[in-house]
Amino acid sequence: MVKTDPRWIEAGPRPMLIGGKWRTAEGSKTFKVISPFTNEPLTTISEASASDVDAAVRAARTAFDSGPWPRMSPNQRADILAKVGRLIERERDRLAYIEAADMGKPISGGYAHLQQGIFAWDYFAGKARDQAEEVVRVAAGSHFNYRMHEPVGVVAEIIPWNGPAVSASQKLSAILCTGNTVVLKPSVESSLSVLVLGELLMEAGIPEGVVNIVCGPGATVGDALLLHEGVNMVSLTGSVETGRHVMELAAAGLKRVALELGGKNPNIVFGDADLDAAAMWAGIAAFSNAGQVCVSGSRLLIDEKVYDDLLKKVVEQTRALKMGDPIDESTQLGPLVSRKQRDRVLEYVRIGVAEGARLVYGGDAPTEPALSRGNFVRPAIFDGVTPEMRIAREEIFGPVLSVMRFHDENDALALANGVEFGLAGAVWTSDIQRALRVAGRIDAGQIYVNGYYSPAMSESPAVGHKQSGVGEAGYLKYTVPKTVFVRLVS
Closest CA to 156 of 230, 253, 244: 230
Q: Note the pLDDT of residue 144.
A: 87
Contact (Cβ atoms closer than 8 angstroms) between residue 488 and residue 141 = yes
Helix 74-90, helix 92-103: angle, nearest 10 = 70
Q: Note the pLDDT of residue 328.
A: 95
Pairwise CA distance, residues 101 & 151, whole Å:
36
Pairwise CA distance, residues 454 & 297, whole Å:
12
Cis peptide before 13 (omega within 30 of 0): yes
Closest CA to 463 of 475, 455, 474, 449: 474
Q: Note the pLDDT of residue 108.
A: 86
Three-state secondary structure string covering 92-124: HHHHHHHHHHHHCCCHHHHHHHHHHHHHHHHHH
Give the mean pLDDT per block of 10 residues along the chain (490 residues). 87 95 95 97 97 98 98 96 98 96 93 92 95 83 89 98 95 97 97 98 98 96 96 96 95 94 97 98 97 97 98 98 96 97 98 98 95 97 98 98 98 98 98 98 97 85 92 90 89
Q: Note the pLDDT of residue 268.
A: 98
Pairwise CA distance, residues 114 & 168, whole Å:
11
Catalytic residue check, 215: no
Q: Rounded to two decimals, what is the model's pTM?
A: 0.95
Task: Give alpha helix (H) positions in 184-261.
Answer: 192-204, 223-227, 240-251
From the candidates 294, 329, 388, 409, which is the catalytic residue?
294
Pairwise CA distance, residues 272 & 403, whole Å:
18
Q: Note the pLDDT of residue 462.
A: 86
Closest CA to 221 of 20, 51, 45, 23: 51
Q: Note the pLDDT of residue 460.
A: 85
Q: Note the pLDDT of residue 364.
A: 97
391 in helix, strand or coil?
Answer: helix
Catalytic residue check, 260: yes
Instruction: For the domain made up of 266-456, give the CATH fold.
Output: Aldehyde Dehydrogenase; Chain A, domain 2 (3.40.309)
Q: Where are the domains of the chain?
A: 6-261+469-482, 266-456
> Using the 8-state DSSP alphabet, how is residue 230 labeled?
T
Q: Note the pLDDT of residue 474.
A: 87
Q: Note the pLDDT of residue 118.
A: 96
The CA distances from residue 292 to 12, 247, 398, in Å, are 27, 24, 5
Q: Note the pLDDT of residue 2.
A: 79
Closest CA to 333 of 382, 394, 292: 292
Instruction: Judge: domain 6-261+469-482, CATH 3.90.1150.10.
Output: no
From the candidates 260, 316, 347, 368, which is the catalytic residue?
260
Q: Produce one character per residue of 404-425: b if its CB has 16 or more CB atoms within 10 Å, e if not.
A: bbbeebeebbebbbebebbbbb
* CA Rg value for the chain: 23
Contact (Cβ atoms closer than 8 angstroms) between residue 12 and residue 30 = yes
